[in-house]
Amino acid sequence: MCCASPALAAQNPQTTDASDNSPVVTKVEPPNWWLRLTPELMLLLNGRHLEANGVSCNLADLVVERTQATAGGDYLFVWLKLGAGLKSGTAVCRITTPTGTVSFELSLAPREQTIHKFQGLTTADSMYLIMPDRFANGDPANDEPAEAPGSHDRAKARAYHGGDLRGIREHLDYFKDLGVTTLWLTPIVKNGATEDYHGYGAVDLYAVEPHLGTLRNYQELVAAAHQQGMKIVFDVVPNHVGPRHPWAAKPPLPDWFHGTVKNHLNSSAPVNGTFYGEPANQGHDLFEALVDPHAPSRLWRNLTEGWFVDLLPDMNTENPVVAQYLLQNAIWWTESSGLDGFRVDTFPYVSREFWARWHAGLRRIYPRLTTIGEVFHPDASVTSFFARGQRQYDGTDTGVSTLFDYPMYFALRDVLLNGAPAGRITDVLRHDGLYPRPDQLVIFFGNHDVARFASAKGSSAAKLKMAFALTLTLRGIPQFYYGDEIGMPGGDDPDNRRDFPGGWREDTKNTFSETGRTREQQEIFLYVQTLLHLRHEHAALNGGRLWHLFSDEASYVFLRESEEERVLVVFHNSAQPRELRFTLADTPAQNAARVSRLFGEASAELSGKEVHIHAPAASFSIFSLQ
C-alpha cells in the first residue's frame, strides 16, 4: 500500500470556521481504496457537526452520488462513484455544512500485483490454527501499548501475553518443517479491552490490534508466507463487534444493530430441549429450528438477531448499508494483505441472504478465495444446510466455500476418548451426500473453543496420535490447533490457550527445536510430521475418493482412491490385537495384486479379492495397493 495517511488528514482537518459548531472529521472508513476494484465506495465518516449540505472531491471522475448525516451529525455516509477515468492519487474531499467546511483525504491507489495472492485452499492443504497473543513474542516493544496500560501479564490467563504477528513470521520455518501449508490466525482486528487477547471483541474493524503489531506487520507476514509457498486465513466476524466498540453507545444508524445495548434478544436462549424430542427440558435447539422448513421464524430469530452471549452487539446484516460496510471491510483486508481465505465466525448467527450477497461481492473480485464457515453443531443435517451449491427451503445458497466438520469433531472425540464404537466415524461419513463437496470439509479434533485433546478425560499420547492420524487420512482438509503437535495440555477456555513454550525469549524450554522437546513431545511431533509428509506425497490421501471397507465396534478400514493409486487405511482402536478379513470386491481396488506398508505396524496379505490384516493393539497403519 502506498500514499499519504488519511488518518493524519483526519487528525488535522482544515477547518475554515472556528466556531464551536464547526464540522470535524475524526475517522474515515475505509481509510483508503483502490482503482478498478469496485464501481462504488461507501465511506463512513466519524466526527462532529457533519450535517453536510454538499460534499465534493477534487479528483476527476470521483463523483459524490449522495450523502447521509446521522446520529446528530456524528456520522456522515458518503457514497462515491469511481469512474473509469479516475487516476490514482489522494482525493481531497470538502464537506460543507451550515456551520462551516472541513476536508478529508482518501488515497486511491492502483491495485498491486495479484499473482500468488487470494489463492484459496485445496484438499492438498493443511491448516494450523494460531492464537497470535499466545504463540510467539517477536516484538516485546508492543507487549503493553501506551493506550492499554496494565493489559500485559503472562501470569494471568485472560491478560495479553505478548505474542504477535512478527513472532508468527519468525517461525515460518517451523511450520514448513512440520509440513502444514496454511495458517489460520484468530482475529487480529483492534480489540483493546484488557481481557480481549482472543480478538473476538472488535472496537475498530479497520485497525490491527496494537498488541499484535501493525497492518505493515500483517502484510509482511502474508508476503513472507506466500514466499514460502504457504497461505494465510483471516478470522472474520461479521455477526458482531465487541461491547466496547464506539458504535455500541452511538450506532451510525438507529437500526445499525439488531436492538440496542438495553433492549436486545439473546442468541443463546433457549437452547437444547424437548421440542425435537431431546431429553432436556429447557426449550429447543435454535440451530435445529433454523434448518426446519416448518418452523416459524419466532423459533429461531434469537439465533440470527440475538446478541451473542447476550453481550456482543449484533450487526443488522439485513440493512443494506450495514451489508455494504461489512463487504467493503472484507475486501479491504483482502486487498490490503493478499490473504488467501476467511474463517467465518458464528456463521448460522447471520442471515443467509447476507452470506449470499457477501460471497457474491467477494467472488466478483477474488474468485478463488476460500471461506470456511463455523457451524458448531454435531448433526450433519444441520451443518450441511449452510453448504455452498444448494438452495435450501428458503431459496438461499449461502455461497460459503466449505464448513468445519463439527459432526466429525464430535465423533473423533467420542471414539477416541469416550469409548464409542469406531463405526461412529463411518456413521458421520454416511451423511456426506448432504454436502455438495464433502471432500473439502475442514476436519479437526481441537480448536481454541474446546479443552485440549491431550487434557480431556481418557486421553493419552497414543490417543492424540490416533486423532492426528484420522484427521490426516479421512476425506477433507485437515486443521490442527497450535501446540497439539507437541501434546500441549489445557482445560477449558482460557486454559486451552497457553503460551507455546519457546515463543518468548525468557522461556526456559524451547519446543520449536528438537533439543527443547521432551521425548514424548518429539515422538508426537515426528508422528505428525511423518503423516503430513505422507499425505503430501500421496494424491489418494490428500484428495482421493473414500470407500468404506470394514467398520465395527473396534475398527474402521477404508480405501482412498485417486487416479494413480489406492491407499488402504487401518484404524484399530482396541487394547487387543486383531485379525481382520474383508473383501475388496466392488471397490476400485478389487484387482490389486500387491499390498505394501507405507506407515504403522500392522501387516497385510492379499488372497484373491480378500485382504487379511494383522492389526496390533491400538494401531494405525497405511498400505499401498497395486
Report how far residue 460's alpha carbon sits from residue 481's, in angstroms, rounded to the nearest whole number: 17
Q: Are 560 and 603 in contact (CB under 8 A)?
A: no
CB neighbourhood size of 35 (10 A) = 15
* CA nearest neighbour of 31 among 15, 45, 13: 45
User: Does position 379 bind Ca ion by CB under 5 A?
Assistant: no
User: Does position 239 bind Ca ion by CB under 5 A?
Assistant: yes
Closer residue to Ca ion (CB): 31 or 213: 213
The mark string for 182-221 relative to Ca ion (x by CB under 5 A, - otherwise) is: ----------------------------------------
How is residue 322 annotated by DSSP?
Answer: H
The least CB distance from residue 214 to Ca ion, in Å, is 12
The least CB distance from residue 480 to Ca ion, in Å, is 24
Q: Are 327 and 333 in contact (CB under 8 A)?
A: no
Three-state SS string over 183-199 comes to EEECCCEECCCCCCCCC
Report how far residue 398's alpha carbon sits from residue 391's, in angstroms, rounded to the nearest whole number: 8
User: Does position 314 bind Ca ion by CB under 5 A?
Assistant: yes
Could you say which of 74, 133, 139, 285 contacts Ca ion (CB under 5 A)? 139
* CA nearest neighbour of 344 among 133, 187, 231, 197: 187
Could you say which of 32, 137, 182, 587 contacts Ca ion (CB under 5 A)? 137
User: With CB under 5 A as the contact rule, which of the stretches 112-120, 234-242, 397-405, 530-538 interacts with Ca ion?
Assistant: 234-242
Pairing of strands 442-444, 477-481: parallel
Closer residue to Ca ion (CB): 137 or 555: 137
Helix (H) or strand (E) holding 582: strand 578-583
Q: Are 438 and 432 in contact (CB under 8 A)?
A: yes
3-state secondary structure of 361: helix
Closer residue to Ca ion (CB): 197 or 435: 197
Half-sphere exposure of 467 (CA within 13 A, CB side): 32
User: Does position 349 bind Ca ion by CB under 5 A?
Assistant: yes
The least CB distance from residue 168 to Ca ion, in Å, is 11
The least CB distance from residue 330 to Ca ion, in Å, is 16
User: With CB under 5 A as the contact rule, which of the stretches 223-231, 344-352, 369-377, 400-408 interacts with Ca ion?
Assistant: 344-352
Helix (H) or strand (E) holding 96: strand 89-97
User: With CB under 5 A as the contact rule, which of the stretches 134-142, 180-188, 509-517, 551-559 interacts with Ca ion?
Assistant: 134-142
Sign of CA dihedral 60, 61, 65, 66: negative
The mark string for 478-517 relative to Ca ion (x by CB under 5 A, - otherwise) is: ----------------------------------------
The least CB distance from residue 210 to Ca ion, in Å, is 10
User: Does position 473 bind Ca ion by CB under 5 A?
Assistant: no
The least CB distance from residue 160 to Ca ion, in Å, is 8
The least CB distance from residue 132 to Ca ion, in Å, is 9
The least CB distance from residue 225 to Ca ion, in Å, is 19
Residues 143-172 that bind Ca ion (CB under 5 A): 143, 162, 164
The least CB distance from residue 286 to Ca ion, in Å, is 11
Q: Are 60 and 81 in contact (CB under 8 A)?
A: no
* CA nearest neighbour of 19 among 103, 97, 78: 97
User: Does position 558 bind Ca ion by CB under 5 A?
Assistant: no
How many residues sit close enough to Ca ion to count as binding (CB under 5 A)? 9
For 353, the grid coordinates are 441472504
User: Does position 142 bind Ca ion by CB under 5 A?
Assistant: yes
Closer residue to Ca ion (CB): 325 or 349: 349
SS percent in the chain: helix, strand, coil, step 5: 30, 25, 45
The least CB distance from residue 571 to Ca ion, in Å, is 39
Residues that bind Ca ion in the complex, under the rule CB under 5 A:
137, 139, 142-143, 162, 164, 239, 314, 349
